[in-house]
Homo-oligomer: A and B are copies of this chain.
Amino acid sequence: MDSSPPDLLGEFAADRLLLGRSSTVRRVTDLLRDRIAAGALRSGTRLSEEALGGALGVSRNTLREAFRVLAHERLVVHEMNRGVFVRSLGPEDVADIYLTRRALETAGVRSATGSGRLAAVNEAVAAGESAARDGDWAAVADADLGFHRAIGALTGSERIDAYLAGLLAELRLAFAVMDDPRALHEPFLRRNRRIADLLTTDRTDRAEAELVRYLDDARELIVARMRQDAG
């Protein structure tokens, strides 16, 4: 042991977290989260303990532990004695999510200078533009969310990053309402680029103003579509 370079030991210690075999609950939670984000499980769908447990080959108890996590992430709602359902967002939810995004993302923009994390922001913009050229609108959506997550990560806070990631996952529930992902994400590609450029050139105040306008416009787009569907 003493002959090993200390660096090597450090690497192993870091690997240990990745190495750890994941529990069944963890795998089930991840799987359900992915299916919900991908829209395979629509809003309002009832997740029967018996049916889903049978399909996944896990016990009811294990499934219930996974449900508790997903409910805390607001991806499903747990109604007492009635079961759990894939969450469905209303206009108030979307408005609330955008209020929260505004708080977190503007915080990121304001601490952009000297954060040394702008590379990820520019990479996300490039990924979105590349996906748009390929016509892969699902990838554009991913890149768009990745961009905003990178904006939040400018704060350097692990909690802000994690919470924003969850918030954006929740927002995907609303995306399912938009039948045309291109109409939802394409117009914002250019605005992402502009915000990234403003940040790269240290014009943070203007970047913040652009970001706030972006968020207001995106919210209005979704809320309008929701009211249209409802009426």
Residues of A within 8 A of B (CB): 20-21, 23, 25, 61, 64-65, 68-69, 72-73, 80, 96-97, 99-100, 102-104, 106-107, 155-160, 163, 167
A-B contact pairs, 10 of them (CB 8 A): A65-B68, A68-B72, A99-B156, A99-B159, A99-B160, A100-B159, A100-B163, A102-B107, A103-B155, A106-B107
- Chain B residues within an 8 Å CB radius of A97: 159
Which one of B20, B80, B107, B156 contacts A23 once the chains associate, using CB atoms below 8 Å? B80
- Chain B residues within an 8 Å CB radius of A69: 68-69, 72
This protein's copies in its complex: 2
Closest Cβ neighbor of A60 among chain B residues: B61
Known: A20-B80, A106-B107, A107-B106. A157 touches B65 (CB 8 A): no
Closest Cβ neighbor of A170 among chain B residues: B159
Report Cα–Cα, A157/B102, bound state, in Å. 11
- Chain B residues within an 8 Å CB radius of A96: 157-159
Q: Is the CB of A103 within 8 A of B68?
A: no
Known: A65-B64, A107-B107. A160 touches B100 (CB 8 A): yes
